[in-house]
Copies of this chain bind each other. A is one copy, B any other.
Amino acid sequence: MTAQPSTMPIAHALNAGLRDAMESDDKVMLLGEDIGQLGGVFRVTDGLQKGFGDLRVVDAPLGEAGIVGSAIGLAMAGYRPVCEIQFDGFVFPAMNQITTQLAKYRHRSDGKISLPVVIRIPVGGGIGAIEHHSESPEAYFAHTAGLKVVTPSSPQEAYDMIRAAVRCDDPVIFLEPKRNYWLKGEVDLSRIPGPLEKASIVRPGEDLTLVAYGALLPVARKVADVCAEEGRNVEVIDLRSLSPIDDETILRSVERTGRLVVAHEASRSVGLGSEIASRVQDAIFHSLEAPVIRVTGYDTPYPASRLEEEWLPGLDRILDAIDRSFSY
Chain A residues in the interface with B (C-beta under 8 A): 65, 89, 92-93, 95-96, 99-100, 103-104, 107-108, 131-132, 139-140, 142-146, 243, 245, 266-267, 269-275, 277-278, 281-283, 285, 288, 290-294, 298-301, 328
Complex Cα gap A103–B89 (Å): 13
CB nearest to A262 among chain B residues: B278
Q: What are 17 A-B interface contacts by the 8 Å CB criterion?
A: A92-B100, A95-B95, A104-B131, A108-B131, A139-B139, A139-B270, A143-B143, A143-B267, A143-B271, A145-B267, A145-B269, A145-B300, A270-B271, A270-B272, A277-B282, A282-B293, A282-B294
Across-interface contacts of A294 in B (CB, < 8 A): 278, 282
Contact A143-B140, Cβ < 8 Å, known A131-B108, A291-B281, A291-B282: yes
Contact A278-B292, Cβ < 8 Å, known A92-B99, A96-B93, A269-B143: yes
Across-interface contacts of A290 in B (CB, < 8 A): 285
B103 touches A92 (CB 8 A): no
A95, A132, A292, A300 — which one has the most chain B CB atoms within 10 A of its CB? Answer: A95
A100 touches B139 (CB 8 A): no
Across-interface contacts of A298 in B (CB, < 8 A): 145
A146, A269, A283, A285 — which one has the most chain B CB atoms within 10 A of its CB? Answer: A269
Query: How far, in Å, is A81 (CB) from chain B's closest CB?
Result: 20
A292 touches B301 (CB 8 A): no
A292 touches B299 (CB 8 A): no
B275 touches A270 (CB 8 A): yes
Q: Give this chain's copy count.
A: 2
Across-interface contacts of A299 in B (CB, < 8 A): 145
Complex Cα gap A139–B103 (Å): 16
Across-interface contacts of A288 in B (CB, < 8 A): 285
A89, A275, A278, A328 — which one has the most chain B CB atoms within 10 A of its CB? Answer: A278
B274 touches A270 (CB 8 A): yes
Across-interface contacts of A300 in B (CB, < 8 A): 107, 145-146
CB nearest to A146 among chain B residues: B301
Across-interface contacts of A99 in B (CB, < 8 A): 92
CB nearest to A303 among chain B residues: B107
Complex Cα gap A96–B283 (Å): 36
Complex Cα gap A307–B217 (Å): 42
Complex Cα gap A12–B315 (Å): 54
Across-interface contacts of A146 in B (CB, < 8 A): 300-301
Across-interface contacts of A266 in B (CB, < 8 A): 143
A270 touches B143 (CB 8 A): yes
**What 9 new A-B contacts, CB under 8 Å, besides A95-B96, A145-B301, A270-B271?**
A93-B96, A107-B300, A143-B269, A270-B270, A270-B272, A274-B274, A281-B281, A282-B293, A283-B291
